[in-house]
Structure 1
């Protein structure tokens, strides 16, 4: 059974289990960097927001031996958990007053998302773009979100500047930035976080109020989801500069986090650009790539520069005017 046959089979079986006019259908969504994902969209009568359960992971499980019955059962359980824990009121989405406390933002690559950017309000951030969304639900490691498009902005009668001001304030509360050593990040990934190298329970150097010396650091948000946006949070880069007491490079490891490297005379911008490109090509899912080059933050001037390659192979920079 190939993926399309799998999707059709799942759709049919899920519909056999749904009642009360609730129906499931196959839905293809264009995600970050133009990548398409296929899922099951479950629509209920009178409900304007419908969850989509993406199928790629379930198909992989099916290919590895999970039965179709088990796949469908797991998807239905997931749908029920979303339906029961739904905390938003659809009426709130009709006015800006109803959503203004949940509007936040992400960073995406401008060149790779030009078609998507035509549909949504956005702001330029060097070669990246700020896009806005409503954080509807946070449940453990998963979130429910609504991308803000031009229709929403017209309905709410707001400007892009208002969205940015609101999102920047909300992000500090809903998705606070966290800055920690690479050693701590690796321990966190392995589930072995300890007291090493941290003064509080989160490992967040912003909260520790201590000076720290390490070769590499990680910047993300509390959820570790679209945490690269933290590099656009007001004052965050300045705070990192105060901790490191140096200029620093920002390596865009994915849309979810960036790696911070203190500037060092032995570091070469072009070499780091090559490293970022290689990691993106071999280690990062296409949908999660942010950029193929490094950025430089100058602590004394507060300037964020974009490191690229010119035709002569030399590193050149473009200053952020955001």
Structure 2
């Protein structure tokens, strides 16, 4: 059974494995464009009167089937996981998305690579951030597995009657309020010490490598959209710094002086990012193949051109 046949089988039989309240529900499986133009097949099950439903992606379940699980076992697993993903917060209905007044406090940022997401960016409002792009989403609830979000599309923004600039300002503020930024020395993380060097009273002690993310470590690269946070990092370390985009969930920070002392050139740091992306980061979670610099005096975020040298060589 190939992937297409697997999807058809799930679509035709999954209700047999769902709880009784799903007996008359409608099953939908459709392709969803994810980060970096990754297309994934998502399952959603719509009961009468339900506006917001979870979407469960089927790739990993097909992998289980290929590894020897029966269709009965796979469908039972899908049904169990789908039920778990149902929204805990039932207060979110369609008005929580269509009404700007109700949605505005839950709009947050999502940072992606602009070049790899052209299709998405045609459909969604965005703000340029060097060669990255800031998109926006509405956080509509939580599941046992994390956030449930809905994208802000061009049509939705137009219906709200707001500008991209207004949307961006609001989303940046909301993101920091809902998901506060976190800067930790990598040594502390490795030994299990929870710290946030952005908090008062925690001093910088010549950390060579730091992790910049948010408190729940999901979509943490969104901190790059917040110039106040980036400035606070430079104040904490007392230096301009390089940013290694390890994934959409976190970035690494190296003070420029530390990189110089350790003889870590931008070209070498760029090669490090590319190696990690190729070997350890899924395509959907990649942010960039080169590094950035935040200048503490100019308060600007820019690509370090030297870190792209190998990429340019490969493209020739």
Give the alignment's TM-score, normalised by structure 2: 0.88
Residue 141 of structure 2: aligned partner: 137
Residues 123-134 of structure 1 correspond to what in structure 2 (within 5 A)?
A: 123-134=127-138
Whether 1:61 and 2:64 are equivalent positions in the alignment is yes
User: Matched residues in 1 for 2:151 and 2:104: separation?
Assistant: 13
Residue 2 of structure 2: aligned partner: 2
Residues 272-311 of structure 1 correspond to what in structure 2 (within 5 A)?
A: 272-309=269-306
Count of residue pairs the alignment pairs up: 303
Instruction: Give the CA deviation at 1:214.
Output: 1.4
The structure-2 alpha-carbon separation of the partners of 1:166 and 1:312, relative to structure 1 and needing over 3 Å to count, comes to closer
The structure-2 alpha-carbon separation of the partners of 1:101 and 1:311, relative to structure 1 and needing over 3 Å to count, comes to closer
User: Matched residues in 1 for 2:112 and 2:147: separation?
Assistant: 18
- Further displaced range: 296-305 or 141-150: 296-305
Instruction: Give the CA deviation at 1:34.
Output: 0.6
3-state DSSP of counterpart to 1:291:
coil
Residue 240 of structure 2: aligned partner: 247
Instruction: Give the CA deviation at 1:311.
Output: 9.9
User: Matched residues in 2 for 1:252 and 1:259: separation?
Assistant: 6
Q: Deviations over 1:33-60 (max 9, x none)?
A: 1111112121222333332110111222
> In the alignment, is the contact (CA less than 8 A) between 1:121 and 1:149 conserved in 2?
yes
Choose the corresponding residue for 2:218, options 225, 231, 250. 225
Residue 73 of structure 1: aligned partner: 76
User: Matched residues in 1 for 2:307 and 2:234: separation?
Assistant: 28
Q: Deviations over 1:140-182 (max 9, x none)?
A: 4422100000111111111111111111111111111111111
Instruction: Give the CA deviation at 1:14.
Output: 0.8
User: Matched residues in 1 for 2:144 and 2:189: separation?
Assistant: 19
Choose the corresponding residue for 1:117, options 117, 121, 136. 121
> In the alignment, is the contact (CA less than 8 A) between 2:51 and 2:93 conserved in 1?
no
> In the alignment, is the contact (CA less than 8 A) between 2:84 and 2:143 conserved in 1?
no
> In the alignment, is the contact (CA less than 8 A) between 2:97 and 2:138 conserved in 1?
no
User: Matched residues in 1 for 2:222 and 2:52: separation?
Assistant: 25
3-state DSSP of counterpart to 1:71:
helix
Q: Which runs of 5+ in 1 are unaligned?
A: 188-192, 195-201, 316-322
Q: Which runs of 5+ in 2 are unaligned?
A: none
- Further displaced range: 72-81 or 304-313: 304-313
- C-alpha root-mean-square deviation of aligned residues, in Å? 2.3
Whether 1:181 and 2:185 are equivalent positions in the alignment is yes
Residue 12 of structure 1: aligned partner: 12
User: Matched residues in 2 for 1:113 and 1:80: separation?
Assistant: 31
